[in-house]
Amino acid sequence: MTSLNQRKDRLEFNKLQKRLRRQTGSAIVDYNMIEDGDKVMVCLSGGKDSYTMLDILLSLQQTAPIRFELVAVNMDQKQPGFPEHVLPNYLAQLGVPFHIIERDTYSIVKEVVPEGKTTCGLCSRLRRGTLYGFADEIGATKIALGHHRDDIIETLFLNMFYGGKLKAMPPKLLSDDKRNIVIRPLAYCAEEDIAEFARLKGFPIIPCNLCGSQENLQRQAVKEMLHAWERQFPGRTETIFTAIRNVQPSQLGDLELFDFVNLAIDKTATAVEDASDACAVPNWHRPAQEEVVQYVDVLDIH
């Protein structure tokens, strides 16, 4: 019985690994994330996402039709209790070239941010600036981050609810100074799959609460909303992600993206037989009344 269970577990693991490989490979191809001769700086935090990203990229590197280099980089921000040995030991055993950047950003954040306030924003900015600079130092042509599909969707809602912007987190990004290209190879991967993969692989996860900062309550609220909606109406998360990749500026309201001001009638165009049909929303796009009620109930964010 144990042998049968082991074979079943192995089969499930293989299916999961293949799915993550396929999704990561598709994202890389769709956005031309990695090109022949690239030196990719893989940013490791010690969490499930970055471990999975490195593992999948190493796997794809063996079969890719192009040659590219992977260099793992971790930033030791000197948080109290940070297990400095974990990542170096893991990467050395893996045989992956790596660098550990030591920057005491923890002290800066604690000095600047009032007690009780979230430190995530400033901490992220300091880390990003350091990583961008280090990428220049080692000649990296791409910077790989471990954000996944759920991160992208959550960021979309955060920007809508709290920033008044229809903006998410792109799979590929040119930095503001135009000196670095950031890629997110796990952009098509679900957090649930990544968590299960990390568990099965037994990665030495480093807790993300070492800095003692408050959890980002806004992001957590959005995450809970999306989870509740997905439980009630399975498949909605994937549909939202599809929408992010299927933007129609003429159906929104941004004057910089579409020229609404100079719209003009063209009587030479072929007339639509039934204008009401042309403007109608297909039934399969119409949420049932109970869906709308459930969604409003879940959306309890202040």
pLDDT at 285 over 50: no
Under the banding of pLDDT at 50, 70 and 90, the label for residue 209 is: low
pLDDT score at 122: 72
pLDDT per residue over 40-58, tens digit each? Answer: 999 999 999 999 999 999 9
Q: Where in 152-236 does DSSP place strands (E)?
A: 172-174, 181-183
The amino acid present at 194, given as its one-letter code, is I
How far, in Å, CA of 248 to CA of 261, rounded?
17
Binding site residue list: 120, 123, 211
Closest CA to 119 of 127, 150, 131, 182: 127
CATH code for the domain defined by 2-214: 3.40.50.620
pLDDT score at 50: 97
pLDDT at 21 over 50: yes
Binding site residue list for [4Fe-4S] cluster: 120, 123, 211
The amino acid present at 101, given as its one-letter code, is I
pLDDT score at 6: 77
pTM: 0.84
Under the banding of pLDDT at 50, 70 and 90, the label for residue 7 is: confident
Structural tokens at position 188: 């098509």
pLDDT at 71 over 90: yes
pLDDT score at 293: 42
How far, in Å, CA of 72 to CA of 51, rounded?
10
- Domain locations in the chain as residue ranges: 2-214
pLDDT per residue over 177-189, tens digit each? Answer: 899 999 999 999 9
Mean pLDDT along residues 62-77: 95
User: Distance of CA 188 to CAs 41, 148, 152, Å?
Assistant: 20, 7, 9
